[in-house]
Amino acid sequence: MEIRFGPLLFIGGKNSGRYPCCHSVFVDGNSKILIDPGSDRERLCQLRENPGVDTVWLSHAHEDHFKDLDLFEDSELWIAESDACSLESLDNFYDASGMTEGERELYHEPMLRDFHFKSRRADRFFFGEETIDLGGVTVDVISTPGHTPGNCSFYFREPELLFLGDYDLTPFGPWYGDAKSDIGATISSINRLRSIPAKAWIVSHESGIFLSEPGDLWDRYLHTIDEREARLLDLLRTPRSMPEIIDARVLYGKRRVPEGLYQIGERGHMSKHLERLINRGIVVLEDGTYRLA
């Protein structure tokens, strides 16, 4: 699926943009910009040839968003500085993801085969709240940390379109499972995005486009954070170790394959919630076991 908003072209990802793909956006201004090359490799090859891609923008450094970045070695790369190091080596990417040694070994071949990882340095960083004139369209860069430290969203003024990226308003809820992800920052970023007046909203996965204000979807999306925390607290009525918490599948609800991938997400999210609950004095950690205070 492709939909045009003036100089912007929404390029739907394969399988409705579900992982390991995402939706992409192409900006056909004086400079040709491709945002998040992870949608459809064949279609992106066509764009590379005609009309060409001058610059790739990454909203953040996750593998489903840079999956086809290798096609654009001759294009400039822009990303927030705090996410850029994840692209410089696989070890940096694994560190940012919070992977164990065993998980790194499990993930290594897919990162090369399926996500075409190649070490890459950014040509330019996004600077805070900058405004960029692309010729025919003006873009406000919005710093929206939480999902990753350097996560960015983009507001295109002329079509009044807001690119939310991975704050995707899906029923699953927000992702904050990386080593430096942050629940509080995620909540703040979502609330900031919902306050921006727009006429269209693009997200990176599933629905892709909203042509009317998402309304209650914002609340439902945020509420999943409280629901996860409530399930975790209910589980901790009996003291649990981290492996036991992971095995309870609070986040995903059931075992999924590949199990190693989903274990990373389960551990990452539960670690963030446990840290938050410990800081609030609701949970304590003693001898490797978490329990209610």
Would you state the pLDDT for residue 259? 83
Cα–Cα distance between 59 and 39 in angstroms, integer? 14
User: In the structure encoding, which two tokens stand for residue 204, read together?
Assistant: 């990176």
Cβ count near 283 (within 10 Å): 20
Does the pLDDT value for residue 98 go beyond 80? yes
For residues 252 and 277, is the Cβ–Cβ distance under 8 A? no
Q: Which of 213, 221, 222 is nearest to 195 (CA)?
A: 213
The pLDDT, as a whole number, for residue 70 is: 98
So what's the pLDDT on residue 33? 98
Nearest to 163 by CA among 291, 38, 269, 58: 58
Rounded-to-integer distance, Cα 142 and Cα 152, Å: 6
Tokens for 192? 């900031």
pLDDT (tens digit per residue) in 146-190: 999 999 999 999 999 999 999 999 999 999 999 999 999 999 999
Tokens for 174, please give them: 């927000």
Per-residue model confidence (pLDDT) at position 127: 87
Element (H, E) at 28: strand 24-28
> Residue 257: what pLDDT?
80
Q: Contact, 200 vs 209, CB < 8 A?
A: yes
29: left (phi over 0), alpha (psi -120 to 50) or beta: beta
Confidence class for position 131, pLDDT limits 50, 70, 90: very high
**Dist. CA 208–CA 156, nearest whole Å:** 16
Query: pLDDT tens digits for 200-243?
Result: 999 999 999 999 999 999 999 999 999 999 999 999 999 999 99
CB 193 within 8 A of CB 214: no
- What tokens were used for 90? 């696989």
Residue 96: which pLDDT band, with cuts at 50, 70 and 90?
A: very high
pLDDT tens for residues 241-288? 999 999 999 999 998 888 888 899 999 999 999 999 999 999 999 999
Domains and CATH numbers, the chain: 2-214 (3.60.15.10), 219-292 (1.10.10)
> Which tokens sit at 100?
């164990």
